[in-house]
Amino acid sequence: MDREDRVAALDEKTHIVSIAPKDFPAGAKEAYTMNHTDSDNEKPPVQHEDVTALLELALAKDKAGSYEDMLTIAQKATDLDPGSGLALACKARALQKLERLSEATIANDQALLLDTNLPLAWVNRSGLQILQGRFPEGLRSAARAIELDPQDPRAWANRGMALLNLNNRLDALAAMNQSLACDPDFLFALQIKGEILRHYGRMHELAQTMSHALEIDPADVTSLSLLTLAYRALEEYEELPAITQRLTQLSPANLFAWDSHMRALRALGHFVEADAAIDRLLELAPNDFRIWTIKADNLYRLERYREAAQAAEYALRFDTQFPPARRIHEKALRMIYQHKKKRKK
């Protein structure tokens, strides 16, 4: 069976359209052919120990999220052994993670031509199809990856992502749970599980899931944001300022982060600290009359009545009938009047 027939047989088995060598972009077929010629028999014997060590290192870089390094190492392995499907699959995964999707697709199809039963190549294919919006195909490729290696958390996570994009959230959640059964510290699966839990309003579970995610990566903005959402919904304000402060440090222009930080501080009665957070919000959104209204209320609570009235007036410039701003404005003016009367006495 020639190479084109092998690709056709592969696609017939999986019902997925692939790239045959004759359809490669310009230059890709020649690169493929250069790696698969009769002259390979004349090359020095492959040092399999060296290739194996490189592949182990490449897979370790994948787990660490060091994809530039992974690509460099996988390329070295491919240069040493052009017939290694796993080396090409590692290269394809690194390219995919670096968002070089066309190159990743070519490398991954080459890997599958060399070994149609390579689990990583099917994980890659599934991920690439999901990124291309081809969710039914991505689901089928994920199923093949799971069939070949049911302990690969990435395969289950890809299944979950395909199902999620097909609006099947419950089965997507089950797939993410299965991914985490394979690797409890798989951050991507924890994050997607968190998004699904948020959708269903399961805030206690969301808080637990994101707390574990932050044990793995304390600086992960997605996990911090989801944990903030959970704590806000649960009104667990004692826990919130430490989380939101970290979030504002990592994402200093994030309105949600500053808004959450301000609300947590106000809920705890820390109005001085909250005032600084409100000022930062106003730097980011200077024409938001709701923030100006909160500023007015905060100043009122600090007994800075004249400033509170001015902030409320500023809010009313944007919406003259905004009831909360009108109420605070009236309260602040009343307190100013009362203070004047006391001074006269």
| 71 Cβ neighbours under 8 A, 6+ residues apart | 91, 94, 95, 98
> Could you please report the per-residue DSSP string of 24-52?
PPTTHHHHHHHTS-GGGGGSPPP-HHHHH
State the Cα–Cα distance between residues 28 and 32, nearest whole angstrom. 6
Q: Which pLDDT belongs to residue 343? A: 72
The ranges assigned to domains in the chain are 1-22+69-165, 288-345
Q: At residue 315, does pLDDT exceed 50?
A: yes
> Could you please report the per-residue DSSP string of 322-335?
-HHHHHHHHHHHHH
Q: At residue 334, does pLDDT exceed 60?
A: yes
Counting Cβ atoms within 10 Å, is residue 190 exposed (0-12), middle (13-18) or buried (19+)? buried
pLDDT band at 22; cut points 50, 70, 90: very low
State the Cα–Cα distance between residues 126 and 158, nearest whole angstrom. 7
- Average pLDDT (144-157) is 98
Other CB atoms closer than 10 Å to residue 67's CB: what's the count?
Answer: 19
Q: At residue 163, does pLDDT exceed 60?
A: yes
Q: Where are the alpha helices (DSSP H) in 240-304?
A: 240-250, 255-267, 271-284, 289-301
**Residue labelled with tokens 């979950």:** 160
Q: At residue 276, does pLDDT exceed 90?
A: yes
For the chain, the C-alpha Rg in angstroms (whole number) is 29
pLDDT band at 273; cut points 50, 70, 90: very high
Q: 340 versus 48: which is more confidently predicted? A: 340
State the Cα–Cα distance between residues 215 and 212, nearest whole angstrom. 5
Q: At residue 46, does pLDDT exceed 70?
A: no
Q: 38 versus 167: which is more confidently predicted? A: 167
Q: At residue 298, does pLDDT exceed 90?
A: yes
Q: Which pLDDT belongs to residue 287? A: 94
What is the rounded average pLDDT for all residues in the chain? 88
pLDDT band at 146; cut points 50, 70, 90: very high
State the Cα–Cα distance between residues 137 and 118, nearest whole angstrom. 17
Q: Which pLDDT belongs to residue 13? A: 40
pLDDT band at 44; cut points 50, 70, 90: low
Q: Which pLDDT belongs to residue 67? A: 95
pLDDT band at 213; cut points 50, 70, 90: very high
**pLDDT tens digits, 29-39:** 443 334 444 44
Task: Return the minimum-mean-pLDDT range out of 1-10, 176-185, 263-272, 331-340.
Answer: 1-10
Query: What does the chain come to in residues?
Result: 345
- Average pLDDT (281-299) is 96
Q: Which pLDDT belongs to residue 345? A: 58
Q: At residue 189, does pLDDT exceed 60?
A: yes
| 234 close to 225: Cβ distance less than 8 angstroms | no
Q: Which pLDDT belongs to residue 250? A: 97
Please work out, in degrees rounded to the nearest 5, the angle formed at the alpha carbon of residue 251 by the alpha carbons of 248 and 254: 80
State the Cα–Cα distance between residues 24 and 70, nearest whole angstrom. 24
Q: At residue 279, does pLDDT exceed 70?
A: yes
- Average pLDDT (279-304) is 96
Helices (H) and strands (E) in the chain — how many of each? 19, 0
Of 83, 73, 5, whose CA–CA distance to 41 is shortest?
83
State the Cα–Cα distance between residues 171 and 164, nearest whole angstrom. 8
- Average pLDDT (26-31) is 41
| 253 close to 288: Cβ distance less than 8 angstroms | no
Q: At residue 5, does pLDDT exceed 70?
A: no
Q: Which pLDDT belongs to residue 36? A: 44
Q: Which pLDDT belongs to residue 340? A: 77
Q: At residue 174, does pLDDT exceed 60?
A: yes
**Residue labelled with tokens 């969710």:** 135
What kind of architecture, by CATH, is found in domain 1-22+69-165? Alpha Horseshoe (1.25)
